[in-house]
Structure 1
Amino acid sequence: MDQTFGKHEKLKSKILLDKLFTEGKSVKSFPLKLVYVPIEDSETPHLKTGVSVPKKLVRTAVRRNRIKRLMREVYRKNKYLVTKDLSSSFAFMFIYISRENMDYSGLEKCMIKTLKKFHENHA
């Protein structure tokens, strides 16, 4: 079980980000929203993942960065839920949609629920 979140797994492509937000589908589990889109032209199935915390909801940079750091860690620990039976490649964007702070365990429960919803739709 691979528990890394390396450079090749991070969502950085401007083209892919634009496609994600124009054509992407979403799955919600408060306070997380997962927007995803399939990626073509790849021979091995993999995920490109990004996290986002809107400035409009979380005003201070310190809180935004902490939430993003927690989201990346929770994803890194639980990505096996979707990668074990992955048949094609996807681009993921996790968006935090709450004004309140959330601790690691609460965020982990929401992330697991979100990943399971995605896996049910694409298994």
Structure 2
Amino acid sequence: MNFRLPKSERLHAEKLIKELFNEGSSFFLYPFKVLFLRKIDLSGQANQVLFSVSKKKIKRANGRNFIKRRLKEAYRLNKHILPADGIILGVIFVGKADMSFAEIEPKMKQALNRLNQELPQNSLSS
């Protein structure tokens, strides 16, 4: 199993981010809102993921960065749950600033399992 999270697996292309927010499906599972979109032209490639923490919820940048580090770690350890099939994924954190990694990781597992269930009926987009 590959537990790395290289730059190629992080979503940073503005075009893809806009597409994810405009055309992607989503679900809410506290403390995350998960947006996802499966792309045909990216199939066979690694999934790309974006992490976001609301400035409204967590005012200080160091607090937002701390939560993002925890989210990335929880995703990195559990990304094997998803098929590597060109899925574009956005994880928006809407929980409390004082959530520990022990609280975040099981929720990330739940979110990835639910995403795995929702993907088959999600149609492919080009």
Q: What stretches of structure 1 move > 6 A for 4+ residues in a row?
A: none
Deviation at 1:22, TM superposition (A): 0.6
Which of the numbers 92, 95, 99 marks the counterpart of 2:92? 95
Q: Distance in 1 between matches of 2:71 and 2:36?
A: 16
SS at match of 2:26: strand
- Corresponding position of 2:24: 24
Q: CA deviation at 1:45?
A: 3.8
| Residue in structure 1 matching 2:112, options 89, 112, 115 | 115
Of stretches 36-45 and 19-28 in structure 1, the one that deviates more from structure 2 is 36-45
3-state DSSP of counterpart to 2:11: coil
Any stretches of 5+ residues in structure 2 without a counterpart?
121-126
Which moves more between the two structures, 26-35 or 16-25? 26-35
**1:57-96 pair list within 5 angstroms:** 57-83=57-83, 86=84, 88-96=85-93
Aligned-pair identity in percent equals 28
| 8 Å Cα contact 1:27-1:117 kept in structure 2 | no
Report how many aligned residue pairs link the two structures: 120
CA distance in 2, matches of 1:43, 1:116: 20
- Give, in whole Å, the separation in 2 of the partners of 1:49 and 1:6: 11
Stretches of structure 1 that go unaligned for 5 or more consecutive residues are none
Alignment deviations for residues 76-99 of structure 1 (CA, whole Å, 9 cap, x no partner): 00001113xx4x311111100123
Cα deviation per residue 1:42-90 (whole Å; 9 max; x = unaligned)?
A: 352420111000101111111100000000011000001113xx4x311
Cα RMSD, aligned residues only: 1.4
Relative to the length of structure 2, the TM-score reads 0.89
Q: In the alignment, residue 59 of structure 1 is paired with which amino acid?
A: K
